[in-house]
Structure 1
Amino acid sequence: MSDVDSEEMQLFRESVRRMVAREVAPIAARIDEEDEFPREILDIFGDMGLLQILVPESYGGPGGTITMSCVAKEEVAKHSLALSGLVGGTSIGCVLPLLHYGTEAQRQRYLPEIAKGRTMTAVAITEPHTGSDVSGIRTTARRDGDDYVINGQKVFITGGDLATYVMVFARTSEGKGHDGISSILVPTASKGFSVGRAPKKMGYNGVHSVELFFDDLRVPAENLVGEEGRGFRHAMGILNLNRPTVAAASVGLAQGALDAALAYAKERVQFGQPIASFQAVQLMLAEMEIQIQAGRALTYKVTQIADSGDMERLPMMASIAKTFCSDMAMKVTTDAVQVLGGHGYLRDHPVERHMRDAKLLQIYEGTNQIQRLTIARALTR
């Protein structure tokens, strides 16, 4: 399903919406407050096929599309950006790399397990000294007979403490810049793997962004995904496919903030009438709606490009959608806090959480400054 307006997609959206109202909305504030991940929610997402949504039917999965993933992520993000990350939670760290760059033997080995909806994966790129500059990766994977021996440290690895497998990007040779970086699928049960601290974050609480350590960790050479030394190119290809889901989460988060602000504006009485009747508030609400509708239309234009396999147009369009929608979410959530006034600054209402969460959307999956450079280079190439 790639047509977001089809009857089948609308039924899918409604089924996710009902699950969110039942399972996610009641615990969203608690997850943020306690910064603890509710492991029982994994089974719920797995049973709906959301965790493993992109695993093809031929490997036992639901056979979903990028569009379906975005629809589900949008609905979950209306109440919890943190839990929206579970939609396609295995995609960037395992499913997409194996489908696009892995061998058939690797797909046969891992995808049926992931299709059961009980396995989490993570992707490990960022290091203490390496963020946007992926070419600066220092983690090494040295070939030793039939194994790779991995040493190094990763930081800000989302869900790294929950993952069964981690796609690790490491330097396998001393090539210049991005050359010499490879991607290797590492079971977290391996000797030499350990999880470090989970720093306290401004938002996106409940899902930990942890340090990972690799100390002479041995993994079979057959776990190399794609060609040795081409890991950076593989990573960029997968990020292009995943960035529309960041746009969708941004749209959902903004919609949730608008819904809360509108409900409050209709109930809050000042000077003898609801503040929703004041023109200044109406103009803010109207602008929020305009921005959300524009972001939603852009997002699903890009998901159709992704699902069609048009990899020539996708990189720039994915960057445009991610940048526009995350900037939009930051503005809409900030305006939602303003509509509520002093109440918007209190944790009694969800809009302050939405505002804190929105900031992350401008940073992860490639900062918006990097996205603008990508767009500019595509235009001037």
Structure 2
Amino acid sequence: MRSLTAEQRDYAERAESVAAEFEEKAYTWGGDVPWENLHRLAEADLYCPSISEKYGGQGLSDVTAMLLTEAVGRVCPDTGWFTYMQSSVAPRAIDLFGSEAVKDEFLPAVTAGESFVSIAISEPEAGSDVGSMTTEVTEEDGQLVCNGEKTWVGGVPFGDAAVTWVRFPEGLGSVVVPFDDPGVEIEEVYTNMAGYAQTHFTIDDVVIPETHVLTRGEGAFKEQLVSLNWERLGSSILTVAWAEAALEQALAYAGEREQFGQRLDGFQGIEWKLAEMYRQVETAASLVYMSAAGAQGHERAPPRLQTSTAKLHCSQVAEDVVSEAVQIVGARAYQQGHPLEHLYRFARSRRIAAGTDEMQLNTIAGALKDDGLPVVSER
């Protein structure tokens, strides 16, 4: 039993109750947006829990946002991805760093389950190497003008804007770029393994109002980098939810399927697989919530060492557990349209998205070199 406050436990139970309504259509979205599920969560005062109440969220902790992602993602992987993206990524950055004007412009529609805001970081020649970004904002005739290009951006076909990482003359920063600006041009749309579109778009002389600037300069941008620790934990709990979904399906199948005169879960080889899958899922979930314990809000975000460790571990656990579930179910799970086939394609993405395995290893090694091994009181 996880150490939750009474409020968090009540929230998680309500989230589980509403998520149960999504089971019938789970694994059928095929790249479409589960808008009806997002509307339902918003109606139940569950959606975007960590966004400020003033803009339609619940003003609750980032830990609560992870509880929602886990409860929903375990039932409907697609809806889980949306809850994670809109609670912990781009809209969260707008809420933390944006002007009142940009918050009023974008957040109410997001929290109502009617809009989507993307995150745009990668460029054709700058993926993990953020320092090599060339998309820039310059000052021309008293205006801020943005030029550049971004790629692998999710949500563009159904989104309204992107929190876009850019280079200012004084250093890195971030701005909000609406997709309907005439200077934004869609160049290519790719379909990833999970069936969702990722987009390459260019930004040509787009005027950025001062109200659309989120962070600018080394100090402000460093705050945004710190806030990414919550995004890493959000991604981590999303992969845990998918692993839990796969384990549940493997347990159900092994308890029903008979071979050689007995149920599959009666074979020690299968028993050990299931036990090992549970060990991986439970340790992964515990690592996420332990990393988040005691850290509330942007000012007390969890350290990079813990969050990168959780991101790395949980992404690998999800892929391993889903793969073992496919092995247990066998040929049925290998067919297109099977829930486990769907989960397998989803799980593989998280070892790349929100920071590759290799970048997490670099971060972990850097934190250890800088700060050493955490003492007992800091763990």
Please give the TM-score of this superposition, normalised by the length of structure 2.
0.88
Q: Which residue of 2 aligns with 1:171?
A: 167
CA distance 1:310–1:277, shift in 2 (3 Å): farther
Counting only pairs closer than 5 Å after superposition, residues 270-349 of structure 1 correspond to structure 2 as 270-307=259-296, 311=300, 313-347=302-336, 349=338
Q: CA deviation at 1:268?
A: 0.6
Kept in 2, the 8 Å contact 1:254–1:333? The answer is: yes
2:25 is the counterpart of 1:27: yes
Paired amino acid for 1:86: F
With 367-376 and 297-306 compared, the bigger mean Cα shift is at 297-306
Paired amino acid for 2:67: V
With 336-345 and 188-197 compared, the bigger mean Cα shift is at 188-197
Q: CA deviation at 1:81?
A: 3.0
Residue deviations 1:304-361, cap 9 Å, x none? 2432667575211111111111111111111111111222212353112212211111
Q: Distance in 2 between matches of 1:306 and 1:212?
A: 36
CA distance 1:297–1:69, shift in 2 (3 Å): same
Q: Distance in 2 between matches of 1:155 and 1:312?
A: 28
2:350 is the counterpart of 1:380: no
CA distance 1:92–1:72, shift in 2 (3 Å): closer
Counting only pairs closer than 5 Å after superposition, residues 341-380 of structure 1 correspond to structure 2 as 341-347=330-336, 349-380=338-369
Q: Which residue of 1 aligns with 2:15?
A: 16
* More relative contact order, 1 or 2 (CA 8 Å, 6+ apart): 1
CA distance 1:234–1:69, shift in 2 (3 Å): same
Count of residue correspondences: 369
Kept in 2, the 8 Å contact 1:193–1:214? The answer is: yes
CA distance 1:214–1:261, shift in 2 (3 Å): same
Q: Distance in 1 between matches of 2:301 and 2:178?
A: 33
Uncovered stretches (5+) of structure 2, i.e. residues with no partner:
371-379
Counting only pairs closer than 5 Å after superposition, residues 1-381 of structure 1 correspond to structure 2 as 4-23=3-22, 25-32=23-30, 35-103=31-99, 106-107=102-103, 111=107, 114-173=110-169, 180-203=171-194, 205=195, 207-228=196-217, 232-307=221-296, 311=300, 313-347=302-336, 349-381=338-370
Q: CA deviation at 1:93?
A: 5.0
Q: Distance in 2 between matches of 1:256 and 1:73?
A: 13
With 262-271 and 224-233 compared, the bigger mean Cα shift is at 224-233
Paired amino acid for 2:7: E
- What secondary structure, in the 3-state scheme, does the structure 1 residue paired with 2:165 have? strand
Residue deviations 1:258-296, cap 9 Å, x none? 000010001110011111100000000000011111111
Q: Distance in 1 between matches of 2:58 and 2:313?
A: 30
With 61-70 and 90-99 compared, the bigger mean Cα shift is at 90-99
- What secondary structure, in the 3-state scheme, does the structure 2 residue paired with 1:131 have? coil
Q: Distance in 1 between matches of 2:158 and 2:337?
A: 30
Please give the TM-score of this superposition, normalised by the length of structure 1.
0.88
Q: CA deviation at 1:70?
A: 0.7
Kept in 2, the 8 Å contact 1:316–1:374? The answer is: yes
Paired amino acid for 2:234: T
Residue deviations 1:13-72, cap 9 Å, x none? 23222322223x32232223xx33344444233333444322222444311211111111
Paired amino acid for 1:5: L
Q: CA deviation at 1:196?
A: 3.9
Q: Distance in 2 between matches of 1:172 and 1:92?
A: 25
Q: Distance in 2 between matches of 1:152 and 1:247?
A: 31
- What secondary structure, in the 3-state scheme, does the structure 2 residue paired with 1:216 have? strand
Identity of aligned residues (%): 27
Q: Distance in 1 between matches of 2:63 and 2:143?
A: 38
- What secondary structure, in the 3-state scheme, does the structure 2 residue paired with 1:61 have? coil
CA distance 1:114–1:36, shift in 2 (3 Å): closer
Paired amino acid for 2:200: E
Q: Distance in 2 between matches of 1:376 and 1:311?
A: 22
